[in-house]
Structure 1
């Protein structure tokens, strides 16, 4: 039995059309996945209604089941992003700032779509608004606690999009995240996603080039980060997600996608994790 911990949007989605702004991977660190070879769970193929995301976590589970694996996610949270009351968009907390976290923890108690089995294994450690610069300091504790064999990473946009760091700084944070996970569990493997483009934002005309530059750096770095004992695979989210500066068919708000778009991210993640 193997386990996987995902850092990114695998667990905490939001209701479609909620108006939340930010990055695809703003749902930060990792659901852990335990994989039982050759087994499947039919209930994980329950169909979701279009008015709410299934989340990449569930889509990943379905894709992995189709590849002959039974996926068991673990982590401290179970729900999607709790829908917020209507309000103007606000940026997430930046590195060094204190997040406004309620006493009961991050807002991750939202429901899954109607029709998704209550038995779906939705454990995760994914929090809307996080950056790699933050998660690099959190991942070690999660890996030590849940002992994953695989870490699924989907972070980076919020670092660049919210002026936390540039391309090299974001790449450095990603490497530190991997190093800290390995310090807690030396043989852990990784599936690291690049960053999809988003529709153009006034005042951030630099983002398309910055995102492309980071993806190039990441593609070059992954092979040097990988080792036989602790492999690192690149997941090409950018190549399969139909969104760009001029047009973003996949995103309901210029970035975040619906259930169909979630599948375009989950499929390459499952291939890399296989």
Structure 2
């Protein structure tokens, strides 16, 4: 760019009005010569490498990248994919890093970025604010399902708009899911760093290792690419480190177990979040001197949804009952456990029926094949993927359907062999009660009304009282009849007995028929 000096003073001009030519002194000439020699060396270096008199120097260990926190608030932009964004019900590793820096260390930090939500695993959109604990700085630049190249497309404008001092990047798994390989993903990481530095040359960068996957259809290939990516990441950090822009690696995959630390194939549960956050905290504190390392050993944290479902009985009839509860944040499925409490207690077992969502934001499950007259207890446990959360409190439900009516047409059959009766709606079985009748000894005197003059051998018998089982004395339960409506008469050796048939539905006693008298004949 030229500069107009026409309005400057003309003192020292020649007689013809021209300005005198600059004449350097001895020191000036020496300075010009040195400058020319330096430029020449730079030109030579650009073509043949660094000028090294006496040959190649011995190999030296690369000095670790170092940084320093800015004056005032340190702005941190976290960039990544679903592992960084998180989903409903998650704390996210961003939360755990924020809590460490802000509350445990007292660092003056601010998270920046264009987004503040997580993915709603219920399917209602990625703008969900459903954090397990929303009390932290939620801003980020992570996008569910994004490969590194997709993140690079917007990183320049994001850095320009939010002006972060630190950029934390953890991405690459989606590159492999899409068929890419580690060298390609690493080159995309380099491009992202270059693009971000065009906007801010003193950006301090932390690259997170990728965590392993488990349970996909392609575990072997994916984990091989992840391992290759992680192995090469320190070299990328060293190569991309600039004088004012250090690049360091967070050892996020160290001690990380996909079986224990993921809630599904890929995404971290609470334990995994903590391990990732601790690794980033260590990288920020060590080389970059922001904050402090995460305290060890890491605390034990519960996994799975931590909100208890509040379960109630929404409906009950003679055949079933319906349990209902409000959806639990972050739950991807529920397990309903059932146990018969009394009578005849049994083991707690999971129901095979899947709960279904309703439009009012609640879940419900229909429970059938319950036994009338029994008391059951139910527990609902929410799961996120494979991680079970806090169980509901026990709900006790007496299942008392309407008792069946008393049997009708109870009688002795024509051959005097069976007690028979009519069918009863909803009765599952019948109980037969017996009581011996009061009988007088038979008389040896001739019966005056008997034309043959024979004596009366039949005893004179009558009921003990007019009360049935449960009220009268002497009654004994002698048989349970399933799948039939007759019973072979047995007086237990007594000359006469009365019988009562009671309907049952499972454990629930129904109506009792009127007593039927039976006298044994010689």
TM-score by length of 1: 0.71
CA contact (8 A) 1:3 1:72 kept: yes
| 1:61 is aligned to 2:98 | yes
Aligned to 2:392: none
What secondary structure does 1:228 align onto?
Answer: coil
How far apart in 2 are the matches of 1:157 and 1:228? 30
Deviation digits for residues 88-121 of structure 1, max 9, x if unmatched? Answer: xxxxxxxxxxxxxxxxxx82333211x543xx32
Q: Does 1:262 align with 2:273?
A: yes
Secondary structure class of the residue paired with 2:108: strand
Instruction: State the 1:126 CA deviation.
Output: 1.7
Mark the runs of 5 or more structure 2 residues left unpaired by the alignment. 1-72, 285-289, 291-522
Partner of 1:5: 77
Deviation at 1:55, TM superposition (A): 0.9
Pair 1:199 & 2:214 matched: yes
Q: Which runs of 5+ in 1 are unaligned?
A: 16-51, 87-105
- Which entry has the higher C-alpha Rg, 1 or 2? 2
Q: Distance in 2 between matches of 1:216 and 1:186?
A: 26
Q: Equivalent residue of 1:138, what SS?
A: helix
Deviation readout 1:114-150 (Å, 9 max, x if unpaired)? x543xx3212222211110111111111000000000
If each structure's helix is expressed as a fraction of its own residues, which one has the higher value? Answer: 1
CA 11–203 in structure 1, closer or farther in 2 if over 3 Å, else same: closer
Say which structure is richer in strand: 2
Q: Residue 137 of structure 1 aligns to a residue in which SS? A: helix
Structure 1 stretches (4+) deviating beyond 6 angstroms?
none
Counterparts of 1:1-274 in structure 2 under 5 Å? 1-8=73-80, 12-15=85-88, 52-65=89-102, 66-85=104-123, 107-113=126-132, 115-117=133-135, 120-163=136-179, 165-243=180-258, 248-273=259-284, 274=290
Query: Over aligned residues, Cα RMSD in angstroms?
Result: 2.0
In the alignment, the residues of structure 2 paired with residue 12 and residue 131 of structure 1 have an alpha-carbon distance, to the nearest angstrom, of 13
Q: Does the aligned pair in 2 maintain the 1:10–1:58 contact within 8 Å?
A: no
Corresponding residue of 1:47: none
Are the equivalent residues in 1 in contact too, given 2:234–2:249 (CA < 8 A)? yes
Greater relative CO (CA pairs within 8 A, separation 6+) = 1
TM-score by length of 2: 0.39
Provide the C-alpha distance between the structure 2 equivalents of 1:125 and 1:109, rounded to a whole number of angstroms.
15
The answer to whether the Cα contact below 8 Å between 2:234 and 2:248 also exists between their aligned partners in 1 is no
